[in-house]
Amino acid sequence: MTPAVKLILQRLLLGLVTLIVVSMVIFAAVEFLPGDLAEATLGQEATEETVAAIRRELGLDRPPVERYFVWLGNILQGDLGVSYANGRAITEIMGTRAQNTLFLAAMVAVIAVPIAVGLGIVAALYRNSFVDRFINLISLSAISIPEFLIAYLLIVTLSRSGLFPSFVVIDATTTLGTRIYQSILPALALTFVVSAHMMRMTRASIINVLSSAYVEMAHIKGAPRPKVIMAHALPNALAPIINVIAINLAWLVVGVVVVEVIFVYPGLGQLMVDSVAKRDIPVVQACSLFFASVYILLNLAADIGATLSNPRLRHAT
């Protein structure tokens, strides 16, 4: 077994253990939510016998540890349970919502990654110049302003002018063009924050590589600065850039919750918030586990991608 394969298997095992621990945390966090689900479902005037019957029907009379292992076992079999709110299968409820959330994340990635890498290269190319300072000012501003404030500013400036809708109306029959148009404002709100982080890491990685001896030798030989960056610096700076892109994409999928709520975007974030309000515990647990799984998987992808793109890590023992 090569060192690279061994390292990847170790990362995968660590990711699996992390996911199990996260599932325990999710179950415990939901378990400690205030109030009683049976009483909330039946109302304050329900009799003790009726509440006890509902608790038995929902399995809430069993110990939490037993319920956790039953829940985990069902998940491993592909059964997320049914919604307490409407009795529908959670996989059916989450199917379309997950597609909408992943579509929004993919749309942001298509916009943000080229912009971030491009601006990072330009900032490194013109280091300490007015262009570099201006790009850094924009990126620091985007990082400092929370996404919900950016979302409201976009609504005030672009929605009230009639250019884009302030809330998203899409369903399974919506065409691709309409879906993109409806999702422009939430995509822009997320793009500002994500692009800033990726741009700064791209700039820092390239500047770090530019101080290497082989890059200085290329300068001494008279190679143009743009060629030095594109042909020598960028390929050797890919590992941290790939890492930060994957981590930001992981944050993107998880961080859509606030933006989805603001724009009433029919994704998993909006579904989870609505389910918390309804105390629909199985849906809250399923959505939380989905977000955690995506975050862990993308972080694993970042770790593995950085390992495979770096010869020193690839041959590490």
**pLDDT means over runs of 10, the chain (317 residues):** 72 86 86 65 66 72 82 84 81 87 89 88 84 87 84 86 83 85 89 85 80 73 72 71 78 81 88 83 87 85 72 56
Tell me the C-alpha to C-alpha distance, in Å, between residue 225 and each of 95, 120, 122, 214, 235.
Answer: 49, 15, 11, 13, 15
Q: Domain residues of the chain, as ranges?
A: 90-279
Cα 146 versus chain centre, distance = 16
CB-CB contact of 304 with 11 (8 Å): yes
pLDDT of residue 241: 77
What backbone torsions phi and psi does residue 89 show, to the nearest 5 degrees?
Answer: -65, 135
Beta-carbon contacts of residue 214 (< 8 Å; ≥ 6 apart): 232
pTM: 0.79
CB-CB contact of 314 with 308 (8 Å): yes
Count Cα neighbours of 124 within 13 Å in the Cβ-side half-sphere: 28
pLDDT of residue 93: 86
Tell me the C-alpha to C-alpha distance, in Å, between residue 102 and each of 66, 107, 182.
Answer: 33, 8, 15
pLDDT of residue 309: 66
CB-CB contact of 283 with 275 (8 Å): yes
Q: Which CATH architecture has domain 90-279?
A: Orthogonal Bundle (1.10)
CB-CB contact of 116 with 206 (8 Å): no
Residues 48, 50, 54: CA angle, nearest 5 degrees: 115
> Which residue has tokens 């029959």?
173
Tell me the C-alpha to C-alpha distance, in Å, between residue 268 and each of 12, 111, 187.
Answer: 26, 21, 15
If we measure between CA atoms, which residue out of 195, 191, 194, 187 comes closest to residue 265? 187
